[in-house]
Amino acid sequence: MSAPTLSKADFQSAQETRWCPGCGDYSILAAVQGFMPELGIPPERIVFVTGIGCAGRFSYYMNTYGMHAIHGRAPAIATGLAASRDDLSVWIVSGDGDALSIGGNHLIHALRRNVPVKILLFNNRIYGLTKGQASPTSELGKVTKSTPRGNIDPPVDVVSLALGAGATFVARTVDRDKQHLPDMLRAAAEHRGTALVEILQNCPVFNDNAFDHVAEKDQAPDNRISLVHGEPIVFGADGERCVVQRPGGGVEIATTASVDRASIIVHDAHADDPSLGFALSQLGDMSTGPVPLGIFRAVDSPPWGDGLVTAARDAHGDVGTEELDALFNAGDTWTVA
């Protein structure tokens, strides 16, 4: 019997979608729902775990299994799920505040363990649901309700953090790009370990136009450094700028006409050494551009817990209530009055 053909409608829940008008989350939701049928996995075998914040609503709008977790704990819950149900496709949706403040510890450990989950990190550089406070990714000097004299904390760079934690797949894209965003989702889905996709997302109420320099058609060509594996890193409307090795280490932007073509860096997303990806993540300016977009790193490595479920079943069979009770009460126990 052949598998049923899936469509976008199969992944759209009956819940009314409610974000602020113009929110980038609408674009991301449409892209994810439109991409899901390509996986060939029925909705009942897909799980979306979300944290707190505007992005936390995502699980309600997907016609899959899902859980709206507590603040910052989506990676911890998803790790437990991946460890016990290797037959499921597990996705995490989290915002920059949820994932990088109280959830930073959980995110780092999910990445370093290479847990087989896909993480979509919506970055609008602001706390949206709690009404416009500075987030971990807010730029220096940002005036918000919590930083009326300007933000004094340097922003967290999502890609740099992920690469520093040893992530095996890291990518960056933009909410409004109907081609690039699905391409990054496909690549993440094909990766067998942890895949993190940072999605630059517009918040029209509290941080409007934050990423216009990479999203708007009249600005994007000059400000998007496209990372394509095996291709020279050249950008600009006419390819007038490029990325070259900086004397003494690191990378820098140069004028294409002023350098030898052989000196232009050819992107290698599959290199075991993450140093090139990290150097590229430090390039440019997230506020004004240029900004590297694409896959920074994609290396194959055995995922955490690979074969764990099968090994447990072979050793113990299907564990029932009695076996769990015996396990919980094994060894020394105490009664606290």
Residue 255: left (phi > 0), alpha (psi -120 to 50), or beta?
A: beta
pLDDT digits (tens, 9 = 90+) for 144-198: 999 999 999 999 999 999 999 999 999 999 999 999 999 999 999 999 999 999 9
Residue 107 belongs to domain with CATH number: 3.40.50.970
Element (H, E) at 67: strand 65-68
Q: Is there a domain that residue 252 lies in?
A: no
Q: Is there a domain that residue 194 lies in?
A: yes
In the chain, the percentage of residues whose pLDDT exceeds 90 is 87
- Roughly how many angstroms between the first and final C-alpha of the chain, as a whole number? 59
What is the mean pLDDT of the segment spanning 25-50?
97
Residue 311: its pLDDT value, please? 73
pLDDT digits (tens, 9 = 90+) for 191-213: 999 999 999 999 999 999 999 99
- Chain centroid offset of residue 79 CA: 15
pLDDT digits (tens, 9 = 90+) for 284-306: 999 999 999 999 999 999 999 88
Domain containing residue 61:
8-223+293-298
Residues in contact with 83: Cβ distance below 8 Å, sequence separation at least 6, in sequence order: 305, 308, 309
Q: Is there a domain that residue 14 lies in?
A: yes
| Mean pLDDT value across the chain | 94
Residues in contact with 36: Cβ distance below 8 Å, sequence separation at least 6, in sequence order: 6, 8, 10, 11, 43, 46
pLDDT at residue 314 is higher than 70: no
Q: Are 228 and 266 in contact (CB under 8 A)?
A: no
pLDDT digits (tens, 9 = 90+) for 64-102: 999 999 999 999 999 999 998 999 999 999 999 999 999
Cis peptide, bond prior to residue 290, ω within 30 of zero: yes
**In Å, what is the CA distance from 44 to each residue of 59, 78, 88, 116, 188?**
13, 16, 9, 18, 20
In the chain, the percentage of residues whose pLDDT exceeds 70 is 96
pLDDT at residue 319 is higher than 70: no
Q: Is there a domain that residue 127 lies in?
A: yes
How many domains does the structure of the chain reveal?
1
